[in-house]
Amino acid sequence: MTKRAFTFPGQGSQAVGMGKDLAAAYPEARAVFQEVDEALGQRLSAIMFEGSDDILRLTENAQPALMAVSLAIMRVLQAKGIRLVDHAAFVAGHSLGEYSALCAAGSFSLADAARLLRIRGLAMQKAVPVGHGTMAALLGLDLAVAREVAAEAAGDDVCDVANDNAPGQVVISGATAAVERAVEIAKAKGAKRALLLPVSAPFHCALMQPAAEAMQAALADVTVNAPVVPLVANVLAAPITDPDDIRRRLVEQVTGVVRWTESVTWLTGPGGVTHLAELGTGKVLTGLAKRINAEAVATAVSTPADIDAFVAELSA
């Protein structure tokens, strides 16, 4: 029996031109982009469709932009008779993708999700001066060894595991000097590759505490409804539905580990999920899903052709 989860991508999946094909093809997508523009008081859609990569990559733009594309796809599916509650047993999102997942599942309004992600992006950028923090990918090391690397490299600085993306793909985050040390230690411990990432801030580590406080204040001011299906939370790798719990976990997520390997393992194990559909820009989560559980069927729904194929599959 087919059981699905809808997943939503995180930062790094953005690309200039994102959403443009959807806006050209579907009035529902155009309406989403317009609503996000109005909520932010900015033509974010113009940056997405034909802006410069440098401007789009700014955290304050990339985060709401990725959410907007995911929700545009969701609205188009709804217009074609595909309701999330009828076809997904769970939702999950990678980092900022949790906001997309929650918006798709009815916890946040689209305008609130856009404004929260703008606040989140600005707060994360402001938490650490540019150049003082960074992130690195450690490839070919398991999570336990990556934790050892981070601890050894930290010294008096912050160096934390940030993302457990898939077996052999762990991202660390912290003070620039500590992360640079970690890259060398990881190579000595047998990493296939260890490389600094082109990010503007050290996400998901203790240095993000000021951003966590900003999100606690922001989330206290918005309505959070129970999602129509459970969210498998990044920091728990387990399902939640209670609005107060959702607020708490979204705050913890700013400084906490994105436990993506465990989340997909839970979904495709105890959760009983057989099919994972990634709604949004790119195919990053689809690739990770296949590395985490080769038996799970993973599909990216990103383009108008993908949407047609997905609707046909769900309607069969």
Distance separating alpha carbons of residues 197 and 171, to the nearest angstrom: 9
Helices of type H across the chain: 20-25, 27-40, 44-50, 53-57, 59-79, 84-87, 97-104, 110-127, 143-154, 176-188, 209-220, 243-255, 260-268, 284-292, 304-315
Q: Please identify which of the residues 13, 70, 95, 100 carries the catalytic annotation.
A: 95
Cβ-count burial 259-283 (b if 16+ within 10 Å, e if not): bbbbbbbbbbeebebbbbbbbbbbb
CA-wise closest residue to 13 among 214, 280, 201, 271? 280
**Residue 296, exposed/middle/buried by CB under 10 A (0-12, 13-18, 19+)?**
middle
Q: Please identify which of the residues 87, 94, 100, 204 carries the catalytic annotation.
A: 204
Q: How many CB atoms lie within 10 A of CB 248?
A: 16
CA-wise closest residue to 70 among 111, 118, 18? 18
- In the annotation, is 204 catalytic? yes
Q: Could you tell me whether strands 231-233 and 297-301 are parallel, antiparallel, or unpaired per DSSP bridges? A: unpaired
CA neighbours within 13 Å on the CB side: how many for 118? 15
Which residues are known to be catalytic?
A: 95, 204
